[in-house]
Structure 1
Amino acid sequence: MSKEDRPIRNRRGHGRGRTQDGKPNPIDVHVGMRVRLRRTLMGMSQEKLGELIGLTFQQVQKYERGANRVGASRLYDLSRVLEVPVGFFFDDMPDEITGRSPASGVTDTPDYKPDEDEMHKRETLELVRAYYRISDPRLRRNLFDLMKSLGDGSDAD
């Protein structure tokens, strides 16, 4: 068996779900980012989420960073607590990481940096939460229209 055909050994930095260079699998990073997105949109702390699924907040942090893989039963628990279907955690996965699991044989997995995406920044999440706390639908729609009109002229920076 050639070196390229050998399975990745289960050692620190080179274990299951890690890329050849020891980085977290980009799919695990995406799932963790989706956990963080939903938790933040619900206004839930890492500590509260951990309490509800029997983990410490540090374990939740590791899931959210993709440092720890989320097993099937834990993913199911997360979907129930966060009130989303399991498929939610895989939604919006960028094309550049789809199918780039170490098991796929692809070794040129790009660095996946979800925090560089405006849709996953804390400011965006807080803005969306605040927007949906506006109970008057007309006021919410007026704010939406205002923000769209302000944004249309901001591309000239």
Structure 2
Amino acid sequence: MGRKNSYLDEIDKFIGNRIYSLRLAKGLSRQQLSKVIGVTHQQLQKYENGTNRVAASRLMLIAKALEQEIPYFYQGFTVGNNSLPETKNQRLCIEVARNFRRIGNREHQDAINTLVKSLLKARVA
């Protein structure tokens, strides 16, 4: 067994979080994505949690399945990144964004955006 390396652990968790967030944004279940990339849903969960390291070849499959380029999974990584864990608020934001994209009517999207902005103004005032 290899030595513990906190820097590598941070990278694994960061990449796992990016996979998790993107999977949710795409509206895929863990079962659906794991089937496409050829692993069990338990293995995918370990990737998403950063428990297991994602091999480069597997990351290629994940990127293809999630319609994303490889650099996406590393963008924003810094040593000592404190925002790694997915919070309930972040998950809600991803869900709202996913549902917003599904609204086909541009006028409805604009109306929702206006509502959100007015709620923010009311909160600040």
What TM-score do the two structures reach when normalised by structure 1? 0.70
SS in 2 for 1:115: coil
CA distance in 2, matches of 1:47, 1:90: 24
Match for residue 152 of structure 1 among 113, 121, 124: 121
Say whether residues 1:77 and 2:64 are aligned partners: no
Alpha-carbon contact 1:26-1:112 (below 8 Å) kept: no
The corresponding residue for 1:4 is: none
Higher percent of residues as helix: 2
**After the TM superposition, which parts of structure 1 deviate over 3 Å for at least 4 consecutive aligned residues?**
109-113
Structure 1 142/110 Cα, relative in aligned 2: closer, same or farther at 3 Å?
A: closer
Matched pairs, number = 125
C-alpha distance after superposition, 1:97-155 (max 9, x if no partner): x2x3xxxxxxxx5765432484xx22111111111111001110111121122123325
RMSD: 2.3
Say whether residues 1:10 and 2:12 are aligned partners: no
Q: Which has the higher contact order (CA 8 A, sep 6+)?
A: 2
Question: Aligned AA for 2:34?
Answer: G
CA distance in 2, matches of 1:41, 1:90: 17
Alpha-carbon contact 1:26-1:111 (below 8 Å) kept: no
SS in 2 for 1:83: coil
Question: Aligned AA for 1:80?
Answer: K
CA distance in 2, matches of 1:80, 1:47: 16
Question: How much identity, in percent, do the aligned residues show?
Answer: 33
Structure 1 152/126 Cα, relative in aligned 2: closer, same or farther at 3 Å?
A: same
CA distance in 1, matches of 2:123, 2:11: 33
Match for residue 94 of structure 2 among 116, 125, 131: 125
Name which one, 1 or 2, has greater alpha-carbon Rg.
1
The corresponding residue for 1:32 is: 16
What TM-score do the two structures reach when normalised by structure 2? 0.87
Which sections of structure 2, spanning at least 5 residues, go unmatched?
Answer: none
Structure 1 153/91 Cα, relative in aligned 2: closer, same or farther at 3 Å?
A: farther
CA distance in 2, matches of 1:35, 1:113: 12
Match for residue 61 of structure 1 among 30, 45, 54: 45
Question: Aligned AA for 2:24?
Answer: T
